[in-house]
Amino acid sequence: MPTVRRTGKANRLNYSGKHHRHGLHFLALTDEKGRLLWISAARPGRTHDVTAARHDKIVEHLKTACLGALGDLGFIGVDKPENPDGQVLVTGYKATRWHKLTPGQKQVNQVLAAGRAPVEHGFAHLKMWRTLTKLRTDPARATALLRALLVLKNLEVNR
């Protein structure tokens, strides 16, 4: 989530080298229709998806609830079970310069992308709130604001 840059050393933690801007990092869970169900606490923008997922213990919570999730390629390596049938967080295959994807792996990626498309709409609706782009506050206040927006969004959907 991009934010307005605050001056000083305190905001250097919020700089994302990947996106080349200041921001905060959130994880969110949605249902299959794209409705937001849960939002994590705010973290500095430099936080990786795997680190945030491990810190929030998402895999353990999904296993206790007997649920599964589809993740993008940023979540590769979060769920490494000994038994592939016990995998909770399903991600696609990543191609490299030396490892090209087989036609079967490409087809798996297409199926996963089709399943994740409605979910991305939930994230887009969250980013639509313009107040989030103007944040100049600490992550604790941003977390409270984002969770309040989640409640407002759910009230709007249920009307």
Q: Residues 11-31: pLDDT tens digits?
A: 555 555 565 556 777 888 888
Residue 107 has a pLDDT of: 95
Cβ neighbours around 39 below 10 Å, total: 16
* 43-58 pLDDT tens trace: 877 778 888 888 888 8
Tracing tokens 């994590």 back to the chain, one arrives at 40
Q: Which of 66, 51, 73, 62 is nearest to 29 (CA)?
A: 62
Q: Which of 5-19, 25-39, 125-139 has the highest mean pLDDT?
A: 25-39
DSSP notation for 49-71: HHHHHHHTTHHHHHHHTT--EE-
Residue 46 has a pLDDT of: 72
Q: Which of 39, 3, 4, 23 is nearest to 152 (CA)?
A: 39
The lowest-confidence range among 44-53, 55-64, 78-87, 100-109 is 78-87
The Cα–Cα gap between 130 and 50 comes to 27
Phi, psi (5° rounding) for residue 68? -125, 165
Residue 138 has a pLDDT of: 64
CB of 3 closer than 8 Å to CB of 14: yes
